[in-house]
Amino acid sequence: MSDLTRLELTILDGGIGRELKRIGAPFSQPLWSAQALIEAPHYVTQAHQNFIQAGAEIITVNSYACVPFHLGEARYQLQGAALARQAAIIAKEAASHTKEDQNKTPQTVLVAGSLPPPLGSYRPDLFEQQSALDILTTLFEAQDDYVDLWLAETIASIEEANAIAHVLKDSTKPCYYAFTLSDEIGETARLRSGESVIDAVEAILTKATLIKERDAIFFNCSIPEVMEQAIRDTTSVLKKHNRQLDIGAYANSFTPISQGHEANLTTQGSRDLSPEEYLVFAKKWHHLGATIIGGCCGIEPSHIEALAEWKNSLEEVT
């Protein structure tokens, strides 16, 4: 396994679900990104390669939809673990075939295992601890042999974070905990549950088994405008506890998501967010302390390429 070294800036990939749709993979509700795994897995390889070629240094396993919420209970029981394992193998193979420039060392790409919301995105009200633990453990075991680190995605409540922490408590790999934020801009950043980011970060820092020095606190699948306050709030808590952890951010290009949104019943509306516009947000996040930046739903390879070019310009200056 490759070591993840602390860099001034690391580039994460973008939203693989919408990338699959963009390149013509089979894609529909409720299967979402799992449909390509089932029907045409070569598209998953292509999506990963697109982000790697754009400059992503971390790619995320396409296991987000390998849960009953998307597959349905019957298909999940039959195929959920196998699909998550297949997704991890595809990502590992894609990461091992990276580009080589004549005057540069080979590109190193790490693979992040994905632990998605087990019972539905943006819906902390649907969370049930034992069911969640069962699903998360299945996905963890299916991917663990093939990944370099863990990315727990779209965490909507402190209760969800605690369940994920339990599943990851014995992992020796870096663990990234990515919270999804309310899309309402305010003086205090809040999770989809209504709990403050300050309380969420305080809660996970009190669990010695949760946060290790190579772990990180992320924010994802929220509009770019709300990331800034979340990073500020996180930085203040880390400073209070004298902790140095990476902070990550990867926003979506959705229109604001309302409380009670039912992901499988409709495709969330998108907005036209150019790579240049996204880069403006990313620069601000980095200035505030974010060291790992990528994109979530609707953030394409072109956005990641803009981030990678910006990172290269920073390295040239230093």
Residue numbering of the annotated binding site for Zn(2+): 221, 296-297
Using only C-alpha atoms, the chain has a radius of gyration, in whole angstroms, of 18
| CA 187 – CA 230 distance, rounded (Å) | 10
Largest CA distance in the chain: 55
Residue 184 CB coordination number (10 Å): 13
| Binding residue positions | 221, 296-297
Q: How far, in Å, CA of 45 to CA of 277, rounded?
A: 28
Contact 115, 167 (CB under 8 A): yes
Answer for the pair 292, 4: CB distance below 8 angstroms, yes or no.
no
* Nearest CA among 276, 280, 282, 215 for reference residue 243: 215
The DSSP code for 196 is B
Q: Which helix (H) or strand (E) holds 149?
A: strand 149-155
The Cα 307–Cα 248 span in angstroms is 14
Size of the chain in residues? 318
Q: Does residue 250 sit in helix, strand or coil? A: strand
> What one-letter code names the amino acid at 49?
Q
Contact 132, 163 (CB under 8 A): yes
